[in-house]
Amino acid sequence: MTAVRAGLPEGRYGRSADARADRKLKIIGSVLGVALLGVIAWCGISYISGQELSGRVITWDAVSDHAVKVHLEVVKDADAKGVCTLRSQAEDGSEVGRKDVTVDQRAGQVDTEVTLRTTKRATNAVLVGCTAAGKG
């Protein structure tokens, strides 16, 4: 009996068109992947470096039915000024208090305690965000 070959002998006639196309697709995919990672890194770095103020709520305590004491920490450039907005909510999710806190101290890190007045008993205190007001 004789064995029947299904295709051409390997390596005898060079690469097939499919192998060349596969290699081109791999190269194009790699280039596009590296470009995408570069764009993501650039966006992340520009976002982080563009923020002059960043803050966080360290602790909060509902001291009464109409007040919340908030310990706020803000990290910024020493000469930067800005405003941080705090918000408090009741158990049903409704907003019961909001306050803008001016941060104009000449320090890189500002720790401050703020009393946030509320319309009824608060169940949380969160930092909505901080925005820069310019340097000077």
Is 90 exceeded by the pLDDT of residue 48? Answer: no
Phi (first) and psi of residue 108, to 5 degrees: -75, -30
Give mean pLDDT, residues 27-34: 94
Is 80 exceeded by the pLDDT of residue 62? Answer: yes
Strand runs labelled E in 45-123: 53-64, 67-76, 80-89, 95-103, 109-117
Top-confidence residue, 63 or 51? 63
Residue 19 pLDDT level (bands cut at 50, 70, 90): confident
Give mean pLDDT, residues 10-15: 64
The mean pLDDT value of the chain amounts to 85
What pLDDT score does 38 carry?
Answer: 94
Give mean pLDDT, residues 14-19: 66
What pLDDT score does 3 carry?
Answer: 64
Cβ count near 48 (within 10 Å): 9
> Which are the contacts of 73, defined by CB distance < 8 A and separation ≥ 6?
55, 56, 57, 58, 109, 110, 111
Q: What is the pTM of this model?
A: 0.60
Is 60 exceeded by the pLDDT of residue 6? Answer: yes
pLDDT in tens, 75-122: 888 788 889 999 999 999 999 999 999 998 888 888 999 999 999 999
Cβ count near 34 (within 10 Å): 10
